[in-house]
Amino acid sequence: MNQKIMNVVGARPNFMKIAPLMAELKKHSEFDSTLLHTGQHYDEVMSKLFFKDLGLPEPDIYLRIGSANHGAQTGKIMIEFETVVEKEKPDMIVVVGDVNSTIACGLVAVKQGIKLAHVEAGLRSFDRTMPEEINRLLTDQISDLLFITEKSGEENLLKEGIEKDKIHFVGNVMIDSLLSHLEKARDSKILSDLNLKSGEYVTLTLHRPSNVDSKEQFLQILNALSEIQKEIPIVFPIHPRSKNRLNQFGFEDKLKEMPGLLITEPLGYLDFLKLLAESKFVLTDSGGIQEETTVLGVPCLTLRDNTERPVTVTQGTNLVIGNRAGSIIEKSNKILNGESKKGRSPDLWDGKAAKRIVQVLLEQNF
């Protein structure tokens, strides 16, 4: 009998991780795979556009959860997801990454006695004030199969008491997506649409609560941007959380004084990939972008005090520089003066991670 695998996505960074896995599962008649979208992200630009760009099938099940405080959001997902699981009775549930949908659906899976696989397991920032760190720790504790992207993941999981035979080093599914879409992304017209020249602008993304939820901290970053945009244009596809905060904190006048800072709506996957690939350098607080810039060979300055993806620093183009204005300006100027970090693609970030995951799944006794 075919094995029923339910793949779960909820928020923007999940879509590019599940797409290659869904495509690979479809090639094997041993599996019936379905896609469930919790609706944690729901806007056209945060969700729908990604399905189109990534060639993801329409979700088989869509839960329409939407935004709420963490407890309410996680609880709502659990209530709705449990009903689905009781009806569909999958043999395995696959969750990816570290968003609230990941832990919510993971918890339901194990409480229903269904096998749980976690893709992108083992990453640790060791900063428990990050909601994602809690989601990662807990999801890994309850998973039956843990697919890791870098060797640090194995060390972390073993220290936390996870049995070695549950851990599989398979590479990075997000990089599978990047490599398979890069050529198509090259055709994107985003640079001419935004009046930018290849290699002559900076891409900025910012959405972590630790950077945008405090007025003082957001202002630190704006003060740094105010200096950098005098030297080179900065493009900022803005996350809804950050947009809300800019308005709430009354930063409109500050923005008007920065003609070199170009704020756009969030972009689709292909346009964003093109924007990243052609950037002089990238300023970000995202997790995934640290990995994407490493593979693209584009210098990345991470505006955080830590990273859960250390291989992007030890082998890649990433520097973790904190979020104070002085440091952001100093490190940006270094790159503008020709001193940028070189790197290489980490082991197994070769576009074949989904294939390796499916190979492991084929060997399982459900």
User: Which positions are catalytic?
Assistant: 207
Output the smallest distance, CB 242 to ligand UD1, in A: 9
Of 320 and 329, which CB lies nearer to ligand UD1 in the complex structure? 320
- For the CB of residue 23, give the shortest distance to ligand UD1 in the complex, in Å: 22
- Phi, psi for 163 (deg, rounded to 5): -65, 140
Min dist CB 158 to ligand UD1, Å, is: 25
In 10 A of CB 230, how many CB atoms? 10
- SS (HEC) of the chain: CCEEEEEEECCHHHHHHHHHHHHHHHCCCCEEEEEEECCCCCCHHHHHHHHHHHCCCCCCEECCCCCCCHHHHHHHHHHHHHHHHHHHCCCEEEEECCCHHHHHHHHHHHHCCCEEEEEEECCCCCCCCCHHHHHHHHHHHHCCEEEECCHHHHHHHHHCCCCHHHEEECCCHHHHHHHHHHHHHHCCCHHHHCCCCCCCCEEEECCCHHHHCCHHHHHHHHHHHHHHCCCCCEEEECCHHHHHHHHHCCCHHHHHCCCCEEEECCCCHHHHHHHHHCCCEEEECCCHHHHHHHHHCCCEEECCCCCCCCHHHHCCCEEECCCCHHHHHHHHHHHHCCCCCCCCCCCCCCCCHHHHHHHHHHCCCC
Residues that bind ligand UD1 (CB under 6 A): 11-13, 40-43, 46-47, 67, 98-100, 131-132, 207, 239-241, 244
Judged by beta carbon, residue 235 or residue 348, the one nearer ligand UD1 is: 235
Of residues 31 and 269, the one with the C-beta less far from ligand UD1: 269
Of the pair 11, 348, the CB lying nearest ligand UD1 is at: 11
> Which of 24/285 has CB closer to ligand UD1?
285
Q: Which residues, 6 or more positions from 327, have their beta carbon under 8 angstroms from its beta carbon?
A: 321
Provide, rounded to whole angstroms, the least separation between the CB of residue 286 and ligand UD1. Answer: 6
Q: Which CB sits closer to ligand UD1, 77 or 196?
A: 77
Residues 140 and 133: their CA atoms lie apart, in Å, by: 11
CB of 229 to ligand UD1, least distance (A): 24
Closest distance to ligand UD1 from the beta carbon of 245 (Å) = 10
CB nearer to ligand UD1: pick between 207 and 280: 207
Write down the least CB distance from residue 265 to ligand UD1, Å.
Answer: 11
